[in-house]
Structure 1
Amino acid sequence: MTGFWQITWLIPPGLLLGALAASAFVSALLSILVMKGGPVDLPRERGAHSDPTPTSGGLAIMAASALVIGLTISFYGHAIPGSWRDGLILFGFASLMGICGAVDDVADLPASWRLAFQIGLCLVFAYFYRVTALDFGPGVIVQVPPVIGLLGSATWLILTLNTINFMDGSNGLAIGAQTIAMLVFAGLILLMAPLSLFGAYLGVVLLICVCVAGAHLGFAPFNLPPGKPQKAKAFQGDAGSMFAGALIGGATLVVKAYGVGSVWFGGFLLAPLLVDVVLTLIVRTRKGQNVLKPHKEHLYQIWLQRRDSSHWRLALRVWALCLFSSLVGVGARLIDRIYHTDIRFLVLVALIAVYTVGWLVLRKQLLMRPLLNKAP
């Protein structure tokens, strides 16, 4: 195994940057096309938009990613180490989830149908990459029985899917968080894969993360238009949010399987989003409300209603929180690698605790404020 500072590129940097740029370019072109056709999201009480808006951006993201990944592997496959099987399973899983979301964008499927499909597909993916052990601290490793590992892994996947979906209600918020997650995943693989015994198997997964990040960047200006952030030209829809949620949750399990990251890493990537989703579900459950019914009670929605209706300023705040928690996760992984002291779970618990206190305090303050004159 190489020394810590003798890191080699898993994939040539020029190829990675080219794939990133190509995905962004193709995604932007396809976004223009989907804006001219496909389903339209009409204004509704729980929405944050006032005009009919195309909601096929997720299809542009998926198609751009698939096209660039396929072409890159076709022409430069010899320069990409690793198992194509892992990449195929991961991208196939995410794509099937995205297709389910696309159908929902058109047909507005019952929530119970969507959840049943999610559970079934997540169980299949979890079968290949179930968690077998959990690290809770230095020397504290708990072996997980197969059935518990399967169900726990599937639960994590369902949580990430719906976290991205629930938080995709403000222009730019989710698409930016997804981009950060994909880029940080790519950074983690680049840093740690050369130092891990089986890290070289993640070459295709690295390419997927980079291409999807590029596709997100290409679509972002349509979701959060420069100069007019309140007026999105297109939404990613359930197709985009479920595709991204599946990738983030699935990649967490894949990098865990190859010893590059831990199952806790996904928690760092999505910490502020997970806190908002889970605590909002708890609040609604305590009130006896239907947790499957759409609503506008997430903290970010209350912020738009009572504090500041700017989607741009809200997105910047959430992106900053996501980037901070993600970098904390990378730092905890580096500490584990350099000093052989695994504090990732403890750091994540502390981070979630801080975000939880912030959520509770801010929500209480916001609910004491009157609604803004002009709702977002």
Structure 2
Amino acid sequence: MLIFLFAFLVSLSVSACSVPAVRALSKRYGFVDKVGARKVHQYEMPRLGGVAIVLGVIAGLLIIRPEHEHFLSIAIGASMIVTIGMLDDKYTLNAKTKLIWQLVAAAIVVLSGLHIPYMTLPFLGEVELGVIGYVLSIVWIVGITNSINFIDGLDGLAGGVVAIAFMTILVMSLFDLGASSLFVLSIAVVFIGSIIGFLFFNVYPASIFMGDTGSLFLGYAISVISLVGFFKSVTVFSLVLPIVILAVPISDTLFAIVRRLLNKQSMMTPDKGHLHHCLLAMGYSHRKTVLIVYLFSLLFGVVAIVFTTTTLWVSYLLLAIIIMVIELYAECIGLMGDRKPLLQFVKRIANMKGN
């Protein structure tokens, strides 16, 4: 286990030590985030910090040298994601171009054999998914990749959320030290180290942003590793675990989709209705908003770990309660805009009892 600690420290050190150079290069070559209506910063910021995270991860992997049958395809996909992220940080590419690159990167991983081949359903047993399994796997990778990108709106937010998710996965991988779990453990260790090294410069007030290079890379990594770690025993329960671990970015993305559909807005049109925007609008400071989101992520991480120690039906009951709580909280802070169906339903029930 000492090698994992060493890899963690190397990843952290390389990431942290490379930030000053990356920051200087960002300013020199125009990789900067300009001030805008949706931005919370007041001046141009270097936005190539994701490169420091990538360098930290590579350094850690060179120490551990993890082995997995899909490692090459995962690395190729990651290279594509980093490339499109850097191009976007420089030239601000349109959403369609980025989506095509992401689909190709996801397809490379999935077609190499890393996908959901079947699912074991209650009362039905094992059900072969066929082509649907490939499609679901690609949608999962692309969806999670973008969900992390969507929450990257405050200093330290996306990095902290992903670090907490990787910590949860690390703890769960310790329960089963098989070949796949050791690979997952290795990846989690180096990512946690690299993210922490970067966060020294990215927490409020940040001196550098991770940019799309970082957010897309982290989203891609967490989506692929969850495929390796959780979908190898494909039951409905195993599908639920990564969703719970990533509940914050997933729910924020789903609410954004619903909100834009109801408001008849384009899916590609950004807005200020995301979780962190709503918390800021409620009067929370930058730091408190980030800490609140961290706490939510940590809570869901603990719940995911608890899921592995309870019975299946208790887990489903807990999941139903979690979904209700997420919806109520989302309506309370305005994630759904003015639409609050569940709150209105609760009020009607309360009024009926009052009468």
Q: Which amino acid aligns with 2:191?
A: V
Evaluate the alpha carbon distance shift between residue 342 and residue 327 of structure 1 in structure 2; reply closer, same or farther with a 3 A threshold: same
TM-score scaled by structure 2? 0.86
SS of the equivalent of 1:192 reads coil
Report if aligned partners of 2:114, 2:227 keep a CA contact under 8 Å in 1: yes
Change (3 A) 1:102 1:258: same
Higher relative contact order (CA 8 A, sep 6+): 1
CA contact (8 A) 2:70 2:114 kept: no
Residue 319 of structure 1: aligned partner: 294
Q: Letter of the 1:89 partner, please give it.
A: S
Residues 189 and 363 (structure 1), Cα distance of their counterparts in 2 relative to 1, 3 Å cut:
same
**Alpha-carbon separation, structure 2, partners of 1:211 and 1:256:** 19
Deviation at residue 91 of structure 1 after TM alignment: 4.0
RMSD of aligned residue pairs (Cα, Å) = 2.4
2: CA distance between counterparts of 1:66 and 1:96?
15
CA displacement at 1:295 relative to structure 2 = 2.1
| Secondary structure of the structure 1 residue equivalent to 2:334 | helix
Unpaired stretches in structure 1, ≥5 consecutive residues: 1-11, 74-79, 194-198, 368-376
Partner of 1:237 in structure 2?
Answer: 211
TM-score (norm 1): 0.82
> Does residue 250 of structure 1 match 2:224?
yes
1:334 maps to: 309
CA shift digits 1:24-63 (9 cap, x unpaired): 1110011121111121111111111111111111111011
Pairing partner for 1:303 from 256, 275, 279: 279
SS state at 2:70 partner: helix
The correspondence of residues 132-151 of structure 1 with structure 2, limited to 5 A, is: 132-135=117-120, 141=125, 143-151=127-135
Is residue 244 of structure 2 the alignment partner of residue 259 of structure 1? no
Q: Distance between the aligned counterparts of 1:165 and 1:312, measured in 2?
A: 19
Query: Of 46, 50, 61, which residue of structure 2 is paired with 1:54?
Result: 46
Q: What pairs with 1:64-79 in structure 2 (closer than 5 Å)?
A: 64-73=56-65
Q: 1:161 aligns with which of 145, 161, 175?
A: 145
Distance 1:71 1:347 in 2: 40
Does the aligned pair in 1 maintain the 2:82–2:217 contact within 8 Å? Answer: yes
Alignment partners' CA distance in 1, 2:281 and 2:193: 32
2-structure distance, mates of 1:365, 1:292: 17
| Aligned length in residues | 332
The alignment partner of 1:37 has SS state of: helix
Following superposition, the deviation at residue 109 of structure 1 comes to 0.9
Matched, 1:130 2:115: yes
Q: Secondary structure at the match of 1:191?
A: coil
Task: Map 1:13-162 onto structure 2 (within 5 A).
Answer: 14-38=2-26, 39-73=31-65, 83-127=67-111, 128-135=113-120, 141=125, 143-162=127-146
User: Which residue of 337, 352, 356 maps to 2:323?
Assistant: 352
Structure 2 matches for 1:214-229, cutoff 5 A?
Answer: 214-224=193-203, 229=204
* 8 Å CA contact 2:274, 2:335 repeated in 1: no
The answer (yes or no) to whether the contact 2:330–2:336 under 8 Å persists in 1 is: no
Equivalent residue for 1:373?
Answer: none
CA contact (8 A) 1:135 1:345 kept: no
**What are structure 2's unaligned runs of at least 5 residues?**
339-355
C-alpha spacing 1:255/1:344, structure 2 compared with 1 (3 Å): farther
Aligned equivalent of 1:288, options 255, 264, 269: 264
CA distance in 2, matches of 1:49, 1:126: 38
